[in-house]
Structure 1
């Protein structure tokens, strides 16, 4: 299983290389005096990294917004760690964007608790609607540990980009409310290709990501990016199943 996971990750890297190289070159050539454009480039790079996983069968989405992830934990956990490594690299590569991140506001424990609660408010109703019996899924609990790493690690990168960089940048140019709304709508819009072309599921994904984006954006406005990561990661964790 380890060898298979390593092979799949190499295939992913090779498949992704041309597109991500162009995005990296575009980002490096764009002046630091254009932070908005540099943020958009990072968002496009992330969308490419995420959506490439679909044809490679790392995950699938269903019409009832059930997310199935590959059953090999040695693919999922490294992807979560890779996402955290990219977050750390961004602090060195783009310090001017890193300064836009508001990690925590107010009481940190309250923020994380409400973030998890927001994730549960999104994920639990969907899980109940889907009627998934985890007791009947072989190897579910060992697999779940790797999904925890992916859900919170992978979505840490997504939240840093959308709620850290984008929303933080917008707050310097408009009200906090409008910045939150733009961040949420941009988040849903960046799932449009996944919804309409990659999976052809359509409006259920768009609606889900808009609701999720609004929840994470407003949690971030009040309590910071860490709370938004807790909300996003919890929601994905609750609706995930093995393929």
Structure 2
């Protein structure tokens, strides 16, 4: 399983390199004064990293918004930990942008609890509507730890970008509530290619990501990025199942 994970991860990395090189050049050539443009480049690079997971069959989406992830927990855990590594790297290399990121506001435990609760309100109804009882699938409990790392690690990277950088930047120009609304709408819009081209599932994905994005934006406004990560990660974790017969 580990050897297979290495092959899958190398294939994913090699597939991404040409696009990421171009995004890196674009980012490097952009003046630091153009903060909004630099954030947009980072968002687009992340969308590329996320959306190519579909044709590479690292995940798949169904019409009932069930998200099936690769059944190999080593791949999932590595992707989640790599996302945390990218967050740490960005904090070190991009201190000017990182100043926009509000990790926590108020009581952190209260924020995390609120985030988990809001994520549960989003993800649990969809989990209950799924035709498949995920816990009964073969290998589910061995797969789950890797999925937990991916759900919270990878989605923290997404939250740092949308709720940390974008929402933080917007708060310098508009009210916190409006910044949260814009980040939520932008989050849904950045799923447009995934919804309308990569998967062809259309409006259900856009509606779900709009609700999720607005909820995460509100939680971030109240308690910071750590709390919004709890919202995002919990919602995805509740909806996720392993791909049957795909390890």
TM-score range, shorter chain: over 0.9
Measured in 2, the distance between the counterparts of 1:144 and 1:187 equals 26
Separation in 2, partners of 1:108, 1:87: 19
User: Residues 114-193 of structure 1 correspond to what in structure 2 (within 5 A)?
Assistant: 114-193=114-193
The equivalent residue for 1:55 is 55
Q: How does 1:1-243 map to 2 (within 5 A)?
A: 1-243=1-243
Cα drift, residue 74 of structure 1: 1.5
Structure 1 residues 60 and 175: CA distance shift in structure 2, 3 A: same
The CA deviation string for residues 115-167 of structure 1, in whole angstroms up to 9 with x for no partner, is: 00000000100001114313420110110100000000000000000000000
Q: Could you say what the CA RMSD is over the residues aligned between the two structures, in angstroms?
A: 0.7
Tell me the distance in 1 between the aligned counterparts of 2:150 and 2:211: 21
DSSP-derived class of the 1:60 partner: strand
Alignment partner of 1:200: what SS?
A: coil
Partner Cα distance (2:189, 2:60) in 1: 19
TM-score by length of structure 2 reads: 0.97
* CA deviation after TM superposition for structure 1 residue 45, in Å: 0.2
Post-superposition CA distance 1:180-239 (Å, at most 9, x none): 010000000000000000000000000000000000000000111110000000000000
* Contact in 1 for aligned 2:135/2:141 (Cα 8 Å): no
Q: What's the CA shift string for 1:57-105, capped at 9, x where partnerless?
A: 0000011111000001121110001101110110122111100011111
Aligned length: 243
CA distance in 1, matches of 2:29, 2:62: 39
Structure 2, unmatched stretches of 5+, are: none
Q: Where in structure 1 are there 5+ consecutive unaligned residues?
A: none
